[in-house]
Amino acid sequence: MFTRREVMAAAAAVATSTMPGSALAEDAMDPVAYMLSQIAAGTAPGAALIASRSGKVRLEAYSGTYCSLHNRTETLTSDVLHPVYSYSKLISATVVVVAHQEGRVDYDAPVSKYIPEFKGGGKDGITLRHLMTHSAGIPNVPLGPVRTEVEWDKALKAVCAASTEWEPGSKSAYHALSGMFTAAAVVRSQYGGRTWEDICQEKLFRPIGAHSLTFKVPADSAPAAITPQPLTLPESLANAYGLAGHPAGGCFATASDALKVLQLHLNNGRWGRKQILQPSELTEMHRVQYQKEIDAARLAGHAPKHETWGLGPLMRGTGPSYGGHGWFGFQNQTSPGIFGHAGIDTVIGVADPATGIALFFATTASPPTSAAATAIRNGITDRVFARLTPHV
């Protein structure tokens, strides 16, 4: 934990104009010093950063405060649970890929093969691949919480009743909840209706030793960050997290356990002595699914209708960077294999197979603006990669 004096010193170092090669310039490029300076500047009351290279943690820092159930200024430590919001999509997608590996689901079969009610309204051709690449055409289905089976069934009825907004596969636009929720519902149908939490625990969380990962609402006694910070403190954590349980946005994790999911991908699907994901499965998961369409649009001088999604993660891919890359924290990185996911404006996870670098970064409140969130995310990623990339 860093003292206030250390925070202010780091802020002064980063804010000072320096000449290249000077000691202060080196401090300015230090990821932890930069994080401390952002806390001191009020971008966020607290932040957590953990980064690894070649499977070993090289950077880890927790500083500032977080909002708990009873106190807005709790000291942030390594055991604090963070709601990871849409970073949950990368977690859930990994479990969907395990189901595919086990032969339970087919990426290109109609969803109605698994959920017969999922028909009509243009949905008949929607596949798991569409759901996992934000190209299904049902981005705006209004979904409530899914913390109970009753709530889950209500959400399932809502997606089954939805109509498409475009022909599935013809373009991509972010499906905040509906895409990964429906994908998880498909998987659940092939595991005897077991809960999403139960499937994830068996197929991913326990095998990688990520004991904090959960889609359940943490107990009120747990050290859990309430982000974004509410105007009024809730009576219970169950009232604090409207997305809890959602495969698309309702997972909780410590920073170190969130990093383990990225590390599994960098380990080529292996954890210890167990091969959790086959390399061929990861290759397909990390393939830009609409690369041909993107290349054809660029060749014709048009803006692509598709983004560089793999099966769950956003990929850097080839070609120019665009806004989604910036929001996800890798605007300035050029390695095609870089991938990751963001969680609203407080969380990013980024990894690169070429360098073996992975990082998870979370703030304990929303930065003042979207521009500020994008800046701090890319500021962290750029500094982590500059610090940890091996130099020949």
Please count the structural domains in the chain: 1
**Using one digit for the tens of pLDDT, what is the confidence trace for 116-145?**
999 999 999 999 999 999 999 999 999 999
Specify if 150 maps to a domain: no
Q: Answer yes or no: are the C-beta atoms of 335 and 355 closer than 8 Å.
A: yes
Specify if 262 maps to a domain: no
Specify if 154 maps to a domain: no
**Using one digit for the tens of pLDDT, what is the confidence trace for 323-368?**
999 999 999 999 999 999 999 999 999 999 999 999 999 999 999 9
Amino acid present at 35:
M
Specify if 217 maps to a domain: no
- Give the global pTM: 0.93
CA distances from residue 189 to 109, 116, 194, 196 in whole angstroms, order as listed: 14, 11, 8, 10
Which of 236, 192, 204, 199 lies closest to 218, judged by CA? 236
How many angstroms separate the CA atoms of 42 and 379, rounded? 15
Q: Answer yes or no: are the C-beta atoms of 138 and 126 closer than 8 Å.
A: yes
- Counting DSSP H helices and E strands in the chain, the numbers are 13, 11
Give the domain extent around 2: 1-41
Which helix or strand (DSSP H or E) is residue 159 part of? helix 149-161
pLDDT of 7 reads 36
Specify if 18 maps to a domain: yes
Amino acid present at 265:
H
Specify if 378 maps to a domain: no
How many angstroms separate the CA atoms of 205 and 196, rounded? 12
Mean pLDDT per block of 10 residues along the chain (392 residues) reads 37 34 59 97 98 97 97 97 98 98 98 98 98 98 94 97 98 98 98 97 98 96 95 93 94 98 98 97 98 96 97 96 96 97 98 98 97 98 95 64
pLDDT of 13 reads 35
In the three-class reduction of DSSP (H, G, I as helix; E, B as strand; rest coil), residue 105 is classed as coil
How many angstroms separate the CA atoms of 350 and 343, rounded? 12
How many angstroms separate the CA atoms of 153 and 185, rounded? 10
How many angstroms separate the CA atoms of 315 and 338, rounded? 6
3-state secondary structure 165-181: CCCCCCCCCCCCCHHHH
Specify if 345 maps to a domain: no
Specify if 391 maps to a domain: no
> What tokens does 232 get?
């009024």
pLDDT of 26 reads 53
- Backbone torsions φ then ψ of 271, nearest 5 degrees: -135, 110
**Cβ atoms < 10 Å from Cβ of 28:** 19
pLDDT of 390 reads 83
pLDDT of 242 reads 87
pLDDT of 391 reads 75
Instruction: Give the number of residues written for the chain.
Output: 392
How many angstroms separate the CA atoms of 373 and 167, rounded? 33
